[in-house]
A and B are shown apart, each in its own frame.
Chain A
Amino acid sequence: MSQTNPPPARFAHASKNPPVSESSPSNPFRFGAFLIGWVFPGLGHVVSGNAKRGVYAMAGVLTLFISGLLVGGVDCVDRREDALWFLGQAGAGPIAFGASYANDAFLKSGSAAPMIEMPSYPGAPKITVSSFKGVGHSNDFGTLLVFLAGLLNICVMLDAGTREPGSDRPTSGRRAGDAGPRKGAAAATTPTSTTPTSTTPTSTMGGA
């Protein structure tokens, strides 16, 4: 009575590869992978056995981050002057803090370019800024691109925390380099011992 019916054939691919990874009692949230994903974009997937997915995520986040820095310069990451923007940018990890540090070390210190005195009211304290400071479109787009990199990396980190380790490995068939039964060995083993080893998770990163 309580037996479960198999899904219809047209949904077979969906049941084999669920589109969204979810945290459940059998698939707990992996804080280790989540935190390593913050250390460098995509690294959380790489250490949990989903290397290819991690590399694609890394490529996406770094495309945004590097584009932002190229367009706006390191001035578009400033944890003091643009603190609200930096809340999102910090999602990209230590590279965002590094960019903010480079802003302080090279631009605000005046070591990379001469400082310019800004016009101010009479009697007001004099303000000087670097002549490399980004203004207008370059600063807007640079800040936005780095901000988006940070936000998307938070999504990637959450995915690394909820995705099952090694879940990208093929469940049927073999790829070059996969540790599956060899041709000669397959003939010598019994049918019960030919369970594909590629489905076994290779890492239990922070699975507690």
Chain B
Amino acid sequence: MRTAAVDVGTTLLAWTPFLQPAPAVDRWWWLLIIPLAVGISFAYKATRTADIARLPREALRMSALIVAAMVGLALFTHAIVIWLLPYLVAE
């Protein structure tokens, strides 16, 4: 764990943003759901919300819902693959 953190740290120091791909994306790619959800929510709610004063709250709520739904789907598929599938006997 410590080795991995040091590894990411050293590659981060050598990273040239916007020219090089972000380092070690293969390890934390699932965190990209957060900027994805926030960006989609703000742009979508900017076109749909009637009352502009409620827009930030509605956009953050939509972001939280997207992330929660994805986490729920991940847990559901995890339960199927890890717990349920081993009960199916392969003939």
* A interface with B by C-beta (< 8 Å): 17-21, 42, 45, 50, 52-54, 56-57, 59-61, 63-64, 67, 69-75, 102, 106-107, 112-113, 132, 134-139, 141-142, 145, 148-149, 152-153, 155-156, 158-159, 168
Contact = CB atoms under 8 A, between A and B. Distances in A.
A57 B42 contact: yes
Interface of B is mostly: helix
B64 interface: no
Contact of A159 (B20, B47, B52): B47
B5 interface: no
Contacts of B45: 56, 60
A20 B52 contact: no
Given A56-B45, A138-B22, A64 B17 contact: no
Which of B46, B49, B59 neighbours the largest number of chain A CB atoms within 10 Å of its CB?
A: B46
Given A53-B55, A64-B36, A141-B32, A18 B50 contact: yes
Interface size class of B (residues with CB under 8 A): 20 to 34
A56 B56 contact: yes
Nearest to B32: A141
A60 B40 contact: yes
Interface string B9-37: 00000001111111001100100100110
B32 A145 contact: yes
Given A71-B21, A141-B32, A17 B51 contact: yes
B53 to A, nearest CB: 9
Interface of B: 16-22, 25-26, 29, 32, 35-36, 38-52, 55-56, 59
A60 B50 contact: no
B35 A56 contact: no
Contacts of A145: 32, 35-36, 39
20 contacts: A19-B48, A20-B48, A53-B52, A59-B42, A60-B44, A63-B39, A64-B35, A64-B36, A64-B40, A70-B17, A71-B21, A73-B18, A73-B19, A74-B19, A113-B19, A137-B29, A138-B21, A139-B21, A152-B44, A155-B43
Nearest to B18: A69
